[in-house]
Homo-oligomer: A and B are copies of this chain.
């Protein structure tokens, strides 16, 4: 499918983005300085400060109605409205998040995570890309839209919903959406929390995986035991945990949880062919962004399918027993592991939680107490309607910003609360984001490419104009 894109031009949107870039980058850096780590209670005051910062910027930009939503079980979110003034205008909700991943392993950061700076066109800092950079695009993008169109209000009814718990799995997103449902009537949801295929290859995301996250706790002896006096005669919780974790995959790296694949929808032959045709350099990917030695995953599927179209079981952390210097000859009391499962097709988070819980309990042997604690209710997979006019408009906007008429459609391996968003708001959903694998978004040394962020700002400005031209009727 080809999208007709106007020839590359030096548009007024681009000129406006260029004019505002310097000041905007200062603002973004000030925001990145706030360590809004939602996973860590010690940083919850920073999450609140980050919400207040964004609210202030939205007000300064001209949004007539801006609220910090801090009276629910959720961490502070921001909700802002700027109506177009035209009752027939397209109503858009922009979604993203202002919380960031933890920055642990600080010794592995070349630049301190919360002291952002720009070196050779790269903005370094936790949140520079995910998601402060991609949400900030809407600040400069809106200015460019107003400047390019000569308007004093956006050409679409604009609502921004920026939550503060996405990096913790959006545990309260449903409650948040329901509490403010009356302010979220929309014809389209625009999510800015994804990426493009590559710096030279713009693309829109057309699918995200679902996610459930849990923690397994295996309890063995009630006290650390001398491994000489007791070892070999009582269950060792680390050995039992290892056994459970090893059983999660079979030798072909299929997930071995009974029933796990029941609701997976396999890609069609045409989809597989399209994926295979993408300009993907696996070798460069492995040694570059994947920083690994060999691809390794579920037998029968390619790397791009493994990260986009297939569900996974991943172990994110493990701990137990003695981890200090030297050795300590104990049978320890406890062992723990953190797990996440990525979901696709019609896999349902609650069903997967139950299947995994059952599997873990069935795999555990007598003599240890095994519990699995699920973090919230998880999120379902989401798929974009690739033929919807809003999808086409988004590709066109991105193509204009990137001076190309080739804008790919790809599946993203990550997860967010998009299924909840689309479900509660009851509107189609598109993704507009410019992250790349080079951004190392959940790792030490997160960064963002400034030229790509500015292209993202420009695409935002184009999108509001494109949507206004389509009109509400054009989206039906």
| A residues at B contact (CB < 8 Å) | 38-41, 101-102, 104-105, 108, 167-169, 208-209, 211, 213, 215, 220-236, 238-239, 241-243, 245-249, 286, 289-298, 303, 306-307, 310, 312, 314-332, 335-338, 340, 342, 365-369, 375, 412-415, 437, 440-445
Q: Determine if A222 and B291 form an interchain contact, defined as CB atoms under 8 angstroms apart.
A: yes
Beta-carbon nearest neighbor of A215 in chain B:
B327
Partner of A317, one of B209, B226, B322, B342: B322
Select which of B307, B318, B329 is within 8 A of A318 by beta carbon.
B318
Q: Could you say which residues of chain B place their CB within 8 Å of the CB of A318? A: 238, 241-242, 318-321, 323, 335
Which of B223, B319, B441 sits near A226, CB closer than 8 Å? B441
Question: Is A295 a contact of B234 with CB atoms below 8 Å?
Answer: yes
> Across the interface, do A321 and B317 meet the contact criterion of CB distance under 8 Å?
yes
The answer, among B38, B286, B326, for a CB contact under 8 Å with A40, is: B326
Output the residue of A39, A101, A233 with the most chain B CB within 10 A: A233
Given A317-B238, A317-B328, A329-B211: A226 and B443 interface contact (C-beta under 8 Å): yes
Task: Given A39-B324, A290-B225, check contact A246 B243 (CB 8 Å).
Answer: yes
A445 — which chain B residues lie within 8 A by C-beta?
A: 223
Cα A323 to Cα B312 in complex, Å, equals: 20
Given contact pairs A102-B322, A221-B292, A228-B414, enumerate 18 new A-B contacts (beta carbons under 8 Å): A40-B325, A102-B326, A104-B322, A169-B326, A223-B291, A229-B412, A229-B414, A229-B437, A230-B290, A232-B342, A234-B290, A235-B293, A235-B296, A238-B317, A316-B331, A317-B332, A318-B323, A330-B443
CA distance A369 to B104 in the complex (A): 23
Complex Cα spacing A225 to B438, Å: 11
- Complex CA gap A227/B312 in Å reads 9
Residue of B nearest to A231 (CB): B314
Residue of B nearest to A414 (CB): B228
**CB-nearest residue of chain B to A248:** B239
From the candidates B227, B296, B342, name the one contacting A442 in the complex (CB within 8 A): B227
**A102 with B296, Cβ < 8 A, contacts A209-B228, A246-B242, A342-B231 known:** no
CB of A227 within 8 A of CB of B326, answer no
Find chain B residues with CB under 8 A from A220 CB.
Answer: 292
Whether B413 contacts A231 by the Cβ 8 Å rule is yes
List 28 A-B pairs, Cβ < 8 Å: A39-B324, A39-B325, A39-B326, A39-B328, A215-B327, A220-B292, A221-B290, A222-B291, A222-B292, A223-B445, A227-B312, A228-B413, A230-B289, A231-B307, A232-B314, A233-B296, A233-B297, A234-B295, A239-B315, A242-B245, A242-B246, A296-B365, A296-B367, A317-B330, A319-B323, A326-B375, A328-B442, A330-B442
A238 to B, closest residue via Cβ: B315
Contact A292:B340 (CB < 8 A) given known A242-B245, A246-B246, A321-B315: no
Distance in angstroms between the alpha carbons of A317 and B235 in the assembled complex:
14
How many angstroms between the C-alpha atoms of A324 and B318 in the bound complex?
A: 10
The smallest C-beta distance from A364 to any residue of chain B, in angstroms, reads: 12
B335 touches A228 (CB 8 A): no
Determine which of B315, B330, B366 lies in contact with A316 in the assembled complex, contact meaning CB atoms within 8 Å: B330
Which residues does chain B contribute within 8 Å of A365, judged by CB atoms?
A: 296
Minimum distance in angstroms from A302 CB to a CB of chain B: 9
Name A232's contact: one of B101, B215, B234, B297 (CB within 8 Å). Answer: B297
Residues of B within 8 A of A286 (CB): 234
A227-B316, A296-B234, A323-B319 given; A338·B342 CB < 8 A: no
Q: Please give the distance in Å from A299's CB to the nearest CB on chain B.
A: 12
